[in-house]
Amino acid sequence: MRVATIDIGTNSVLLLVAESEGGALRPVLERATVTRLGEGVDRARRLLDSAAERTLTCLSDYAAQLPELGVSRLDAVGTSANADRLAA
């Protein structure tokens, strides 16, 4: 079975596609795209439209690859080193 995970971070979006083999996972594809989602967030206290658009474009590109790679399960997470900064 092929599984994938996407990590949407402050500066980059990571994709890992792995093959499940006897309880272990073997990486099939790893990608990292710098989208700078957190650009200007300290100053503006919100996500900039341009940063959100870059990140959504990246996610669309990743999503288009998943069926081609035979992925049957996807989990996505959002991470931030300073998530408390957005909680104002």
User: pLDDT for 41-55, tens place per residue?
Assistant: 888 888 999 999 999
Closest to 68 measured CA to CA, from 11, 14, 29: 29
Q: What is the pLDDT of residues 56-85, one digit of tens each?
A: 999 999 999 999 999 999 999 998 765 555
81 within a domain of the structure (yes/no)? no
CA nearest neighbour of 62 among 4, 20, 9: 4
Does pTM top 0.75 for this prediction?
A: yes
Residue 87 lies inside a defined structural domain of this protein: no
Split into its structural domains, the chain has a count of 1
List the domain range (segments joined by +) for residue 6.
Answer: 2-76
| Dist. CA 30–CA 40, nearest whole Å | 28
Between CA 64 and CA 38 the distance in angstroms is 24
pLDDT at 87 over 60: no
Residue 82 forms part of a structural domain: no
Output the pLDDT for position 11.
94
Output the domain CATH number for residue 27: 3.30.420.40
Q: CA geometry: angle at 15 spanning 10 and 18, to 5°? A: 150
Would 14 be classed as within a structural domain? yes
| Whole-number pLDDT of residue 84 | 53
